[in-house]
Amino acid sequence: MPRCLHCGTQIKYGRTDKKFCCDQCKNRHYNEQTRSGRAFRRKILSQLVTNYDVLDTLFKAGVYSIDLIDIVTMGFAPGIVTSYRKVGKHEEFCCFDIKYIMTKMRIYSISKLENVSVHLQGKQ
């Protein structure tokens, strides 16, 4: 017997592929999903801002390489990036316009992308 994804009540009537016992449970379930999706997005965005601030501070101070353990202490989260590509044997990451190479132990070659231009479609 299937159970309601929201309240766990056994669903006794209706199609066997029903996921919710009633419309209220269905609505609550999707509302919660939307809320947690937004909360997750906010969390990632705020971590990206923190990562950027840490990298920018290092770059402006002329520090272009640092042990991973030290940058993590500064609030940097290595798993949160805006882009990634493999360059030869290296793994190059970006946080917006700052790029760096990251290994298991160290971040190095911190630099800024040059000639960054942003084209917003439909906006002049």
Which residues form the interface with Zn ion (CB under 5 A)?
A: 4, 6-7, 9, 21, 25
Residue placing its CB nearer to Zn ion in the complex, 33 or 109: 33
| Rounded least distance, CB 15 to Zn ion, Å | 15
* Most distant CA pair in the chain, distance: 68
112 strand-pairing partners: 98
CA dihedral 106, 78, 101, 60 (to 10 degrees): -90
Minimum separation from the CB atom of position 122 to Zn ion (A): 43
Report in angstroms how near the CB of residue 36 gets to Zn ion at its nearest: 18
101: tokens are: 């190479």
Bridge partners of 67, per DSSP, are 106
Give the nearer residue to Zn ion in terms of CB position, either 21 or 55. 21
Residue among 6 and 99 whose Cβ is closer to Zn ion: 6
